[in-house]
Amino acid sequence: MLISLAQFNQELNPMQEDASLLKSIIQNSSDIFFRLNLKSEILFINPSIQSFIGQSPAALNAVPLKSLLVLPQEFILFKNELVQTQRVRNYELLFKHADGRKMFGSINAYLLKKEDKTFIEGSLRDISEQKKMEMEFRKSYNATQKWQQYFEIIYEITEQINKYREMEEVGNAVTQGLAKIMMFDAYQLYIYNDEQKYLQPVFSTETYKHNRIISNTPVPIDKGILGRIFRAAQNEIIENIRTDPDVFYLPDEEQIDASLIASPLIIEGRTIGEITLLKEGIGQFRRDELRILSIIGRQVAVALENAQLNAR
Protein backbone atom coordinates (compact mmCIF):
# COMPACT_ATOMS: atom_id res chain seq x y z
CA MET A 1 0.00 0.00 0.00
CA LEU A 2 1.35 3.38 -0.93
CA ILE A 3 1.40 6.13 1.71
CA SER A 4 1.86 9.84 1.23
CA LEU A 5 5.14 11.61 2.05
CA ALA A 6 3.37 13.61 4.76
CA GLN A 7 2.11 10.39 6.36
CA PHE A 8 5.59 8.85 6.16
CA ASN A 9 7.19 11.88 7.83
CA GLN A 10 4.48 11.81 10.49
CA GLU A 11 5.33 8.18 11.33
CA LEU A 12 9.11 8.77 11.11
CA ASN A 13 9.26 11.79 13.43
CA PRO A 14 8.50 9.83 16.66
CA MET A 15 11.29 7.38 15.81
CA GLN A 16 13.69 10.25 15.16
CA GLU A 17 12.66 11.86 18.44
CA ASP A 18 13.21 8.55 20.26
CA ALA A 19 16.70 8.20 18.71
CA SER A 20 17.53 11.79 19.62
CA LEU A 21 16.32 11.23 23.19
CA LEU A 22 18.37 8.02 23.50
CA LYS A 23 21.48 9.81 22.19
CA SER A 24 20.96 12.61 24.72
CA ILE A 25 20.57 10.13 27.57
CA ILE A 26 23.77 8.30 26.60
CA GLN A 27 25.77 11.50 26.14
CA ASN A 28 24.68 12.94 29.49
CA SER A 29 24.55 9.80 31.62
CA SER A 30 26.94 9.47 34.56
CA ASP A 31 27.38 5.84 33.49
CA ILE A 32 29.89 5.05 30.75
CA PHE A 33 28.52 3.39 27.62
CA PHE A 34 30.90 1.73 25.18
CA ARG A 35 31.31 -0.45 22.14
CA LEU A 36 34.49 -2.48 21.57
CA ASN A 37 35.67 -4.92 18.97
CA LEU A 38 37.03 -8.29 20.10
CA LYS A 39 40.55 -6.83 20.18
CA SER A 40 39.23 -4.55 22.95
CA GLU A 41 39.68 -1.46 20.74
CA ILE A 42 37.25 1.31 21.66
CA LEU A 43 34.84 2.10 18.81
CA PHE A 44 32.52 4.27 20.85
CA ILE A 45 32.56 5.63 24.40
CA ASN A 46 30.53 8.45 25.89
CA PRO A 47 31.90 11.60 27.63
CA SER A 48 31.54 10.19 31.17
CA ILE A 49 34.83 8.36 30.64
CA GLN A 50 36.59 11.71 31.10
CA SER A 51 35.66 11.98 34.79
CA PHE A 52 36.44 8.30 35.38
CA ILE A 53 39.99 8.02 33.99
CA GLY A 54 40.83 11.59 32.97
CA GLN A 55 40.87 10.98 29.20
CA SER A 56 38.43 12.23 26.57
CA PRO A 57 36.49 9.99 24.15
CA ALA A 58 38.45 11.50 21.24
CA ALA A 59 41.75 10.53 22.86
CA LEU A 60 40.53 6.97 23.31
CA ASN A 61 39.36 6.32 19.76
CA ALA A 62 40.66 2.86 18.69
CA VAL A 63 42.66 2.58 21.93
CA PRO A 64 42.46 -0.95 23.42
CA LEU A 65 40.43 -0.90 26.61
CA LYS A 66 42.82 -3.42 28.13
CA SER A 67 45.60 -0.81 27.97
CA LEU A 68 43.58 1.28 30.45
CA LEU A 69 43.62 -1.50 33.04
CA VAL A 70 46.09 -1.82 35.90
CA LEU A 71 46.39 -5.49 34.91
CA PRO A 72 45.74 -5.74 31.14
CA GLN A 73 45.59 -9.54 31.32
CA GLU A 74 42.33 -9.20 33.28
CA PHE A 75 40.61 -8.30 30.01
CA ILE A 76 41.34 -11.80 28.68
CA LEU A 77 39.49 -13.35 31.63
CA PHE A 78 36.63 -10.89 31.15
CA LYS A 79 36.42 -11.64 27.42
CA ASN A 80 36.56 -15.42 27.97
CA GLU A 81 33.66 -15.29 30.40
CA LEU A 82 31.69 -13.05 28.04
CA VAL A 83 32.23 -15.38 25.07
CA GLN A 84 31.10 -18.37 27.12
CA THR A 85 28.03 -16.76 28.69
CA GLN A 86 27.16 -14.11 26.06
CA ARG A 87 26.49 -11.63 28.89
CA VAL A 88 28.23 -10.57 32.11
CA ARG A 89 26.93 -8.52 34.99
CA ASN A 90 28.79 -6.53 37.67
CA TYR A 91 32.22 -7.62 36.45
CA GLU A 92 34.82 -5.59 38.38
CA LEU A 93 37.98 -4.30 36.71
CA LEU A 94 40.69 -1.98 38.02
CA PHE A 95 41.48 1.00 35.76
CA LYS A 96 44.32 3.53 35.66
CA HIS A 97 43.44 7.22 35.93
CA ALA A 98 45.62 9.69 34.02
CA ASP A 99 46.85 11.12 37.33
CA GLY A 100 48.01 7.71 38.58
CA ARG A 101 45.04 6.83 40.77
CA LYS A 102 43.49 3.38 40.63
CA MET A 103 39.78 3.37 39.78
CA PHE A 104 37.34 0.52 40.25
CA GLY A 105 34.75 -0.06 37.53
CA SER A 106 31.78 -2.43 37.37
CA ILE A 107 30.86 -3.63 33.86
CA ASN A 108 27.62 -4.97 32.44
CA ALA A 109 28.22 -6.18 28.88
CA TYR A 110 26.94 -8.46 26.16
CA LEU A 111 28.09 -9.74 22.77
CA LEU A 112 26.49 -8.02 19.80
CA LYS A 113 26.66 -9.83 16.45
CA LYS A 114 26.07 -7.58 13.47
CA GLU A 115 26.38 -9.10 10.03
CA ASP A 116 29.75 -10.85 10.06
CA LYS A 117 31.21 -8.85 12.96
CA THR A 118 31.03 -9.28 16.72
CA PHE A 119 31.19 -6.41 19.17
CA ILE A 120 31.23 -6.00 22.92
CA GLU A 121 28.66 -3.47 24.09
CA GLY A 122 27.87 -2.44 27.59
CA SER A 123 28.07 0.05 30.40
CA LEU A 124 30.69 0.82 33.00
CA ARG A 125 29.99 2.35 36.39
CA ASP A 126 32.52 4.01 38.68
CA ILE A 127 32.44 2.13 42.00
CA SER A 128 35.71 3.53 43.38
CA GLU A 129 34.09 5.25 46.38
CA GLN A 130 32.07 2.15 47.17
CA LYS A 131 35.20 -0.03 47.05
CA LYS A 132 37.09 2.48 49.17
CA MET A 133 34.37 2.30 51.84
CA GLU A 134 34.38 -1.50 51.61
CA MET A 135 38.15 -1.62 52.08
CA GLU A 136 38.03 0.85 54.98
CA PHE A 137 35.31 -1.23 56.62
CA ARG A 138 37.32 -4.42 56.04
CA LYS A 139 40.44 -2.76 57.42
CA SER A 140 38.52 -1.54 60.45
CA TYR A 141 36.93 -4.97 60.92
CA ASN A 142 40.29 -6.71 60.61
CA ALA A 143 41.84 -4.26 63.07
CA THR A 144 39.00 -4.94 65.52
CA GLN A 145 39.45 -8.68 65.12
CA LYS A 146 43.21 -8.33 65.56
CA TRP A 147 42.82 -6.33 68.77
CA GLN A 148 40.26 -8.80 70.06
CA GLN A 149 42.89 -11.52 69.61
CA TYR A 150 45.49 -9.30 71.31
CA PHE A 151 43.27 -8.71 74.32
CA GLU A 152 42.56 -12.42 74.62
CA ILE A 153 46.31 -13.05 74.85
CA ILE A 154 46.79 -10.10 77.23
CA TYR A 155 44.05 -11.56 79.42
CA GLU A 156 45.87 -14.91 79.39
CA ILE A 157 49.12 -13.18 80.40
CA THR A 158 47.33 -11.34 83.20
CA GLU A 159 45.80 -14.56 84.52
CA GLN A 160 49.18 -16.27 84.45
CA ILE A 161 51.23 -13.56 86.13
CA ASN A 162 48.64 -13.01 88.85
CA LYS A 163 49.16 -16.64 89.91
CA TYR A 164 52.90 -16.17 90.43
CA ARG A 165 54.93 -14.67 93.23
CA GLU A 166 58.42 -15.25 91.86
CA MET A 167 60.13 -12.83 89.45
CA GLU A 168 61.27 -15.67 87.18
CA GLU A 169 57.74 -17.01 86.85
CA VAL A 170 56.32 -13.57 86.02
CA GLY A 171 59.08 -12.97 83.47
CA ASN A 172 58.53 -16.30 81.73
CA ALA A 173 54.77 -15.80 81.53
CA VAL A 174 55.20 -12.37 79.95
CA THR A 175 57.81 -13.64 77.49
CA GLN A 176 55.61 -16.49 76.29
CA GLY A 177 52.59 -14.22 75.93
CA LEU A 178 54.41 -11.43 74.08
CA ALA A 179 55.90 -13.96 71.65
CA LYS A 180 52.33 -14.75 70.48
CA ILE A 181 51.72 -11.11 69.55
CA MET A 182 54.95 -9.65 68.22
CA MET A 183 58.48 -10.45 67.11
CA PHE A 184 61.45 -9.42 69.23
CA ASP A 185 65.01 -10.54 69.84
CA ALA A 186 65.43 -9.67 73.50
CA TYR A 187 63.17 -8.83 76.41
CA GLN A 188 64.02 -7.53 79.86
CA LEU A 189 62.28 -6.56 83.08
CA TYR A 190 63.78 -4.03 85.49
CA ILE A 191 62.81 -3.18 89.05
CA TYR A 192 63.73 0.18 90.53
CA ASN A 193 66.04 0.07 93.53
CA ASP A 194 65.09 3.13 95.53
CA GLU A 195 68.11 2.97 97.82
CA GLN A 196 70.74 2.67 95.08
CA LYS A 197 68.81 4.77 92.50
CA TYR A 198 69.20 2.30 89.65
CA LEU A 199 67.14 -0.13 87.60
CA GLN A 200 67.95 -3.70 88.52
CA PRO A 201 67.39 -6.38 85.82
CA VAL A 202 65.22 -9.11 87.33
CA PHE A 203 64.46 -11.12 84.23
CA SER A 204 65.85 -11.28 80.71
CA THR A 205 65.72 -13.58 77.72
CA GLU A 206 68.85 -15.53 76.82
CA THR A 207 71.76 -13.42 75.62
CA TYR A 208 71.19 -12.46 71.99
CA LYS A 209 73.68 -13.49 69.28
CA HIS A 210 75.54 -10.19 69.62
CA ASN A 211 77.82 -9.90 72.60
CA ARG A 212 75.73 -8.94 75.64
CA ILE A 213 73.12 -6.96 73.72
CA ILE A 214 71.03 -7.14 76.88
CA SER A 215 73.12 -6.54 79.95
CA ASN A 216 72.37 -7.83 83.43
CA THR A 217 74.20 -4.86 84.91
CA PRO A 218 72.10 -2.35 86.93
CA VAL A 219 71.19 0.78 84.98
CA PRO A 220 71.44 4.21 86.65
CA ILE A 221 68.29 6.29 86.32
CA ASP A 222 70.17 9.56 85.77
CA LYS A 223 71.54 8.62 82.35
CA GLY A 224 71.03 6.42 79.32
CA ILE A 225 67.92 5.62 77.31
CA LEU A 226 66.28 3.57 80.05
CA GLY A 227 67.03 6.25 82.62
CA ARG A 228 65.38 8.87 80.42
CA ILE A 229 62.26 6.74 79.98
CA PHE A 230 62.12 6.04 83.72
CA ARG A 231 62.40 9.73 84.63
CA ALA A 232 59.78 10.78 82.05
CA ALA A 233 57.47 7.91 83.02
CA GLN A 234 56.40 7.75 79.35
CA ASN A 235 56.26 4.91 76.83
CA GLU A 236 58.79 5.32 74.04
CA ILE A 237 59.85 3.85 70.70
CA ILE A 238 63.54 4.13 69.87
CA GLU A 239 64.05 3.72 66.11
CA ASN A 240 67.79 3.07 66.51
CA ILE A 241 69.45 2.83 69.92
CA ARG A 242 72.93 3.24 68.43
CA THR A 243 72.18 6.79 67.24
CA ASP A 244 70.12 7.87 70.26
CA PRO A 245 71.76 10.84 72.03
CA ASP A 246 71.38 9.19 75.45
CA VAL A 247 72.81 5.79 74.56
CA PHE A 248 75.78 4.47 76.49
CA TYR A 249 77.46 1.09 76.29
CA LEU A 250 79.29 -1.04 78.76
CA PRO A 251 82.87 -1.95 77.76
CA ASP A 252 81.90 -5.47 76.66
CA GLU A 253 78.73 -4.51 74.75
CA GLU A 254 78.68 -4.44 70.96
CA GLN A 255 77.30 -1.33 69.25
CA ILE A 256 74.66 -2.35 66.72
CA ASP A 257 71.64 -0.90 64.94
CA ALA A 258 68.62 -2.05 66.92
CA SER A 259 65.11 -0.84 67.73
CA LEU A 260 63.69 -0.70 71.22
CA ILE A 261 60.30 -0.15 72.81
CA ALA A 262 60.02 0.48 76.52
CA SER A 263 57.21 1.04 78.97
CA PRO A 264 57.64 2.23 82.56
CA LEU A 265 55.92 0.08 85.18
CA ILE A 266 53.69 2.44 87.14
CA ILE A 267 51.50 1.62 90.12
CA GLU A 268 49.60 4.20 92.16
CA GLY A 269 51.57 6.98 90.50
CA ARG A 270 54.96 5.45 91.35
CA THR A 271 57.36 4.14 88.71
CA ILE A 272 58.62 0.84 90.04
CA GLY A 273 60.44 -0.48 87.01
CA GLU A 274 60.56 -0.84 83.26
CA ILE A 275 59.78 -3.41 80.59
CA THR A 276 61.74 -3.39 77.31
CA LEU A 277 61.74 -5.22 73.99
CA LEU A 278 64.61 -5.03 71.53
CA LYS A 279 64.91 -6.10 67.92
CA GLU A 280 67.87 -5.93 65.57
CA GLY A 281 67.48 -3.38 62.77
CA ILE A 282 66.16 0.15 62.44
CA GLY A 283 62.45 1.00 62.87
CA GLN A 284 61.34 -2.52 63.71
CA PHE A 285 58.45 -1.70 66.06
CA ARG A 286 55.01 -0.15 65.44
CA ARG A 287 52.91 2.17 67.61
CA ASP A 288 50.30 -0.51 68.22
CA GLU A 289 53.05 -2.80 69.59
CA LEU A 290 54.08 -0.07 72.03
CA ARG A 291 50.44 0.21 73.10
CA ILE A 292 50.30 -3.54 73.71
CA LEU A 293 53.49 -3.37 75.76
CA SER A 294 52.10 -0.53 77.88
CA ILE A 295 48.86 -2.46 78.56
CA ILE A 296 50.86 -5.52 79.61
CA GLY A 297 53.20 -3.24 81.58
CA ARG A 298 50.35 -2.08 83.81
CA GLN A 299 49.53 -5.70 84.63
CA VAL A 300 53.18 -6.57 85.17
CA ALA A 301 53.58 -3.63 87.57
CA VAL A 302 50.95 -5.12 89.88
CA ALA A 303 52.44 -8.62 89.61
CA LEU A 304 55.99 -7.41 90.29
CA GLU A 305 54.85 -5.33 93.23
CA ASN A 306 53.25 -8.45 94.68
CA ALA A 307 56.36 -10.49 93.86
CA GLN A 308 58.56 -7.92 95.62
CA LEU A 309 56.34 -7.97 98.69
CA ASN A 310 56.49 -11.76 98.68
CA ALA A 311 60.29 -11.70 98.48
CA ARG A 312 60.69 -9.41 101.53
Query: What is the mean predicted confidence (pLDDT) over 286-294?
Result: 90
- Dihedral class, residue 287 (left if φ above 0, else alpha if ψ from -120 to 50, else beta): alpha
pLDDT at position 163 over 90: no
pLDDT of 233 over the 90 cut? yes
**Over 80: is that where the pLDDT of 13 sits?**
no
| Distance (Å, whole) CA 244 – CA 237 | 11
Report the pLDDT value the prediction gives residue 3, as an integer from 0 to 100.
43
Quickly state the pLDDT bin for 169 (edges 50, 70, 90): confident
Percent over 90 (pLDDT), the chain: 47
Which domains, and CATH codes, for the chain?
28-126 (3.30.450.20), 157-311 (3.30.450.40)
Secondary structure in 3-state letters for the chain:
CCCCHHHHHHHHHHHHHHHHHHHHHHHHCCCEEEEEECCCEEEEECCCHHHHHCCCCHHHCCCEHHHHECCCCHHHHHHHHHHHHCEEEEEEEEEECCCCCEEEEEEEEEEEEECCEEEEEEEEEECHHHHHHHHHHHHHHHHHHHHHHHHHHHHHHHHHHHHCCCHHHHHHHHHHHHHCCCCCCEEEEEEEECCCCEEEEEEECCCCCCCCCCCCCCEECCCHHHHHHHHHCCCEEECCHHHCCCCCCCCCCCCCCEEEEEEEEEECCEEEEEEEEEEECCCCCCHHHHHHHHHHHHHHHHHHHHHHHHHC
> What pLDDT is recorded for position 50?
93
Average pLDDT over residues 112-137: 90
Q: Is 203 a residue whose pLDDT tops 70?
A: yes
pLDDT of 14 above 60 = no
* pLDDT higher than threshold 90 for residue 211: no
pLDDT score at 302:
83
Query: Integer distance in angstroms from the first to the last C-alpha of the chain?
Result: 119
Task: Report pTM.
Answer: 0.57
Report the percentage of the chain scoring pLDDT > 70.
84
Question: Backbone phi, then psi, for 164, in 5-degree steps?
Answer: -100, 155
Q: State yes or no: pLDDT of 188 exceeds 50.
A: yes
pLDDT band, residue 215 (cuts 50/70/90) = low
Highest mean pLDDT (candidates 10-19, 155-164, 284-293):
284-293
Mean pLDDT of 154-176: 83
User: d(Cα 60, Cα 56) in Å, to the nearest integer?
Assistant: 7
Residue 247 has a pLDDT of 87
- Using the predicted structure, report yes or no on whether residue 24 has a pLDDT greater than 70: no
User: Would you say residue 6 has pLDDT above 70?
Assistant: no
User: What's the rounded mean pLDDT across residues 178-202?
Assistant: 88
Q: Choose among 199, 196, 231, 194: nearest CA to 215.
A: 199
Tell me the pLDDT tens digit for each residue of 241-282.
Answer: 989 999 877 666 678 899 999 999 998 888 999 999 999 999
Evaluate whether 170 touches 301 at the Cβ level (below 8 Å): no
